[in-house]
A and B are shown apart, each in its own frame.
Chain A
């Protein structure tokens, strides 16, 4: 079984400041890791994913995340946030399934609030 812990339910930050959203996971097998963003009353959009290879993953909208196996973490970062980044962010983990498919288990989400 796998699980995801997002340590912060809410992260307020000023515009143009850097931000880090924390995510820790637990799994007994090799995993895929993801970050999704959800804007109000919308579905989820993939920001980035780690499948294998380089532990530093770059995604859309200037976000990046680093996979740290020893610390079982996959924290999301952005060096300078915009008002438009205000949204709910979900970290997710999935075990590796045949054919490259996956079914993610989501964390509880972190609400990023960017103030002007």
Chain B
């Protein structure tokens, strides 16, 4: 149980276009989801906290207008990279807090990530 699905796994786009990444909790409702960015051989940097039905909370230094987050339902959060540039190329990972009743030993579950390459 407590599966988080992230789509797409890989995406290549041209500079100036926008890309949407979806994060879904498949078997639980997630009022809170998190978006991370990971550079090669580096740790995960928290970008923002996504709350269902309200505006996302962005970490310092993350451009709100660049990385649009929408958490329209209890099972779906989306991250849109607007007007993407090569420096936005990275590995983006979402995670969601699962309620304790799901029976897992960790309330935080990660998607498999999205590899974004901007050419």
Contacts and interface: CB of A to CB of B under 8 A. Distances in A.
A109 B41 CA distance: 8
Contact of A43 (B6, B105, B107): B6
B43 A46 contact: no
Contacts, number: 51
Interface of A: 9, 36, 41-46, 49, 90, 100-109, 111
A59 to B, nearest CB: 9
Given A41-B115, A43-B4, A106 B105 contact: no
B108 A43 contact: no
Contacts of B112: 41-43
Contacts of B105: 46, 49
Contact of B43 (A42, A45, A102, A107): A107
B34 A103 contact: yes
B46 A103 contact: yes
Main secondary structure of the interface of B (DSSP, over half): strand
B44 interface: yes
Contacts of B42: 108-109
A90 B43 contact: yes
Contacts of B41: 9, 109, 111
B93 A108 contact: no
- Give me the 7 closest cross-chain CB pairs, A-B, nearest first: A43-B110, A106-B43, A46-B106, A44-B110, A108-B43, A43-B112, A106-B44
